[in-house]
Amino acid sequence: MFTIGVLASGKGSNLGAIINHVKSGFLKIKIGVVISDNPDAFALEIARANGIEARYIEPGRYRTILDPEQEKKYVSCLREHGVELVCLAGFMRIIKKPFFDAFEGRIINIHPSLLPSFPGLEAWKQAIDHGVKFSGCTVHFVDQGIDTGPIILQAVVPVLEDDTPERLHLRIQEKEHIIYPLAIKLISEQKIRIEKRRVLIDEY
């Protein structure tokens, strides 16, 4: 069965959504392993509670990237578990070239804005501060830029007059939990083609 690995640093709400869609039968995939750079990530608990292999792998001495030696362990662990697609789900570190090369074209991420608007951290807060009337979320392939890879799916969320960053973030997450599992389904069923940087989807 098509096997994914999930990398998460935090509470794992997207992991939870993916698991629910596996249970419902919408996703016919296996979650081979969940890895975190944070030993206290709730994502690891969610994985264990659902009988999924959960690993904490030390990130090393840096804050925004994995220590190169440690990054190798991430790659080995994913390979050991037969991972065909790496899904970043609130993973707070940038993937460097060796990891990227090991899974080129097979790493995806979910970002809480309508990219290319608001890449980087706290995109929902950026959206509020900028005063946009619509934001949303984006599933994209990971390339070596920050939130710059080809876009697989997006969903739109209106920004309300009285929105706070927190409220907007919650409404964006509801859409994330729909489009991230859908993107994984499309990839697992080989329904996606890339032309230049446009991602085209066969009928589903």
Q: Which of 16, 60, 82, 150 binds a second copy (CB under 8 A)?
A: 150
The per-residue DSSP string of 151-203 comes to: EEEEEEEEPPTT--HHHHHHHHHHHHHHHHHHHHHHHHTT-EEEETTEEEE--
In the complex with a second copy, which residue's Cβ is closer, 99 or 141? 141
- Binding segment toward a second copy, per CB under 8 A, in 7-15, 24-32, 45-53, 190-198: 190-198
Q: How far is the CB of 133 from a second copy (least distance, A)?
A: 4
Binding-site size for a second copy (CB under 8 A) equals 25
Determine whether 111 is an active site residue.
Answer: yes
- Identity of the residue, 60 or 150, whose beta carbon is nearer to a second copy in the bound complex: 150
Which candidate, 166, 183, 163, places its Cα nearest to that of 88? Answer: 183
Asked whether position 132 contacts a second copy by CB under 8 A, the answer is yes
> Which one from 21, 111, 169, 177 is the annotated catalytic residue?
111
Strands 151-158 vs 134-141: parallel, antiparallel or unpaired: antiparallel
Taking alpha carbons only, the member of 180, 182, 179, 201 closest to residue 192 is 201
Q: Which stretch binds a second copy (CB under 8 A): 2-10, 18-26, 94-102, 110-118?
A: 110-118
Q: What is the strand order of the sheet 85-88 is part of?
A: 54-56, 30-36, 3-7, 85-88, 107-111, 134-141, 151-158, 198-201, 192-195
Instruction: Please give the Cα distance from 169 to 163 (Å, whole number).
Output: 10
Does 161 bind a second copy (CB under 8 A)? Our answer is: yes
Q: Does 146 bind a second copy (CB under 8 A)?
A: no
The distance of closest approach from Cβ of residue 185 to a second copy in the complex, given in angstroms and rounded to an integer, is: 16
Binding site for a second copy (CB under 8 A): 114-118, 128-134, 136, 150-151, 153-154, 156, 161, 196-201
Residues marked as catalytic: 111
